[in-house]
Every structure is written in structure tokens, then in C-alpha cells.
């Protein structure tokens, strides 16, 4: 018998059988895990098993290969945020991306901390400008954790570390303004907050940052195949764009 008890962020819930649900959740020390919750679609459990919620999760299985049985107790609810279109879209995207891309049972403590911070920021912020940058940095970190990190420390053309203004869509490396002269239209603008911690990037900068991370997520991880997942991101970007306008 194997068992695990830990705080977990609910990332995805799928109906299974007549009344049950398979839950995928992110745990700091265990990574993405899956378990079957008996009665998971009941009126009592549906508000608990919502993506974005923090729960006390317990998993039990006879063997490591068997899908574990799971129970969950609510610790932090994000349900009130789901009534607001922009926060709801952000939570939907962040949790869906996590569930769709991380391999199961491999620890990603940095991603757990970053996702927790994104969800906390969405709950505490009065406007998207205060949390959207954290979401872009979460995507940037996820790319790096899965082996597709961008080199934003120096120019891929000249090796200099000053005046980095663009990102190459091919290499994922930064390009200085001088090296980019004449080729700006082929490059993506690099907002400063992707290189240095900036608690308050502007929304236009965030949208530029999300364009960069979205390009590499689509190319290197999603491979253009998961259109349903990408449509979740497109709805989020559309709402962010309207917030800027």
C-alpha cells in the first residue's frame, strides 16, 4: 500500500464513472499527481474540486502503477474569483497548462511556489496589471523547468549583456538593439520584466511577454496540437487586450 498526504493545488478535474472524478493536482514535493475521488461530482465535493483551489489531498493505492483513490478537504477556495471573467480565465489557463504539460510524479517545487504565487496574486489584486506579469513569468519558468528555457542574459549575436531589446523567435535568445538593426520586424520585443524582477510591469509589457512565452509554449511543448488548451489562452489574451484598450 502506498499513500501520500499533502497540500495540493487542484489543476484539472475529469468525470469518471457515474458519480466519481479523476483529479490532477500539483504537490510541492511530489509534482503532478492523479487520483480518483469517489462521489467527486456530488454537490458537496464539486465546490472543493475546482481548479485553483488549495486542498489537503490524501492519496492511497495498493501499487505504484494503480490509480490512487483520493480524498480532499478544502483549505483555500478560489471560487469567488471565477465569477469575474478575467481572473477566471487566468486561473483556467494556469491550471490547465500545468495539468497538460507536466509529467506525473516528478517534483517541481519551483513551479508549485510560482503557481501558488500567481493564484494568490489574482486573489489579492484589484486589477490584472498586478498579477498578469506573474503569470507570464510562470510560463517562462515552466518552459525552463521542462528544458526549453530562453537565454535572456546576453545577446545571441554579439554576446553583450547591455541594451537587450528583442528575442529571436528561432533561438529563444535575447538580441541587443544594435544587433537587431534592420531586422526588428522579424524579432519579438523583449519587455524588461522578463529579465529582472519587476513587481509592476505595464499591461502592454505583459502582453509582449506573453507573446514570447506563448510562441515557445506552442512550438516546443504544445507543438500546436492541443487547440482546446490554446483556445483557453486565446480567451485570456483577448480579455487582457480589452483591459489595455
Percent of the chain with pLDDT over 90: 74
On the question of pLDDT at 198 being above 90, the answer is no
Residue 86 and residue 37 in one domain: no
195-221 burial string, b = 16+ CB within 10 Å, else e? eeeeeebebebbbbbbbbbbebbbeeb
Per-residue model confidence (pLDDT) at position 30: 95
Bigger pLDDT: 198 or 140? Answer: 140
Residue 22 and residue 121 in one domain: no
- Position of cell 466519481? 20
Categorise residue 100: left if φ over 0, alpha if ψ from -120 to 50, beta otherwise. alpha
Instruction: Out of 55, 77, 99, pick the residue that ends a domain.
Output: 77
Instruction: Determine the average pLDDT of the residues in 34-40.
Output: 93
Per-residue model confidence (pLDDT) at position 3: 87
Which backbone phi and psi does 182 adopt, to 5 degrees?
90, -10
Per-residue model confidence (pLDDT) at position 163: 93
Dist. CA 245–CA 145, nearest whole Å: 33
Residue 91 and residue 148 in one domain: yes
**R_g (Cα) of the chain, nearest Å:** 19
Enumerate the β-bridge partners of residue 78.
none
Residues 6+ apart with CB under 8 A from 183: none
Instruction: Determine the average pLDDT of the residues in 212-229.
Output: 86
Question: 194: domain range?
Answer: 80-244
Residue 88 and residue 171 in one domain: yes
On the question of pLDDT at 2 being above 90, the answer is no
Average pLDDT, the chain: 92
Helix (H) or strand (E) holding 241: helix 227-244
On the question of pLDDT at 166 being above 60, the answer is yes
Residue 183 and residue 143 in one domain: yes
Instruction: Out of 44, 77, 110, pick the residue that ends a domain.
Output: 77
Which of 180, 108, 186 minimizes the C-alpha distance to 147?
108
Residue 111 and residue 167 in one domain: yes
Amino acid at each position: 500500500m502506498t499513500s501520500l498526504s499533502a497540500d495540493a493545488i487542484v489543476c484539472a478535474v475529469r468525470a469518471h464513472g457515474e458519480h466519481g472524478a479523476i483529479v490532477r493536482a500539483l504537490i510541492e514535493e511530489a509534482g503532478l499527481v492523479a487520483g480518483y475521488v469517489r462521489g467527486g461530482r456530488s454537490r458537496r465535493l464539486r465546490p472543493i474540486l475546482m481548479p485553483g483551489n488549495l486542498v489537503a489531498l490524501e492519496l492511497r493505492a495498493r501499487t505504484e502503477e494503480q490509480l490512487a483513490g483520493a480524498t480532499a478537504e478544502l483549505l483555500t477556495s478560489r471560487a469567488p474569483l471565477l465569477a469575474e471573467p478575467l481572473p477566471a480565465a487566468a486561473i483556467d489557463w494556469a491550471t490547465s497548462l500545468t495539468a497538460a504539460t507536466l509529467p506525473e510524479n516528478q517534483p517541481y517545487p519551483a513551479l508549485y511556489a510560482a503557481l501558488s504565487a500567481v493564484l494568490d496574486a489574482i486573489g489579492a489584486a484589484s486589477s490584472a496589471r498586478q498579477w498578469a506579469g506573474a503569470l507570464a513569468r510562470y510560463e517562462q519558468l515552466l518552459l525552463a523547468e521542462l528544458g526549453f528555457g530562453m537565454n535572456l542574459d546576453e545577446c545571441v549575436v554579439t554576446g553583450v549583456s547591455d541594451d537587450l531589446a528583442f528575442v529571436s523567435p528561432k533561438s529563444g535568445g535575447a538580441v541587443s538593439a544594435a544587433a537587431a538593426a534592420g531586422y526588428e520586424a522579424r524579432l519579438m520585443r523583449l519587455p524588461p520584466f522578463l529579465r529582472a524582477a519587476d513587481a509592476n510591469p505595464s499591461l502592454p509589457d505583459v502582453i509582449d511577454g506573453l507573446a514570447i512565452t506563448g510562441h515557445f509554449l506552442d512550438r516546443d511543448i504544445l507543438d500546436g496540437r492541443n487547440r482546446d488548451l490554446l483556445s483557453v489562452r486565446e480567451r485570456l489574451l483577448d480579455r487582457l487586450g480589452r483591459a489595455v484598450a
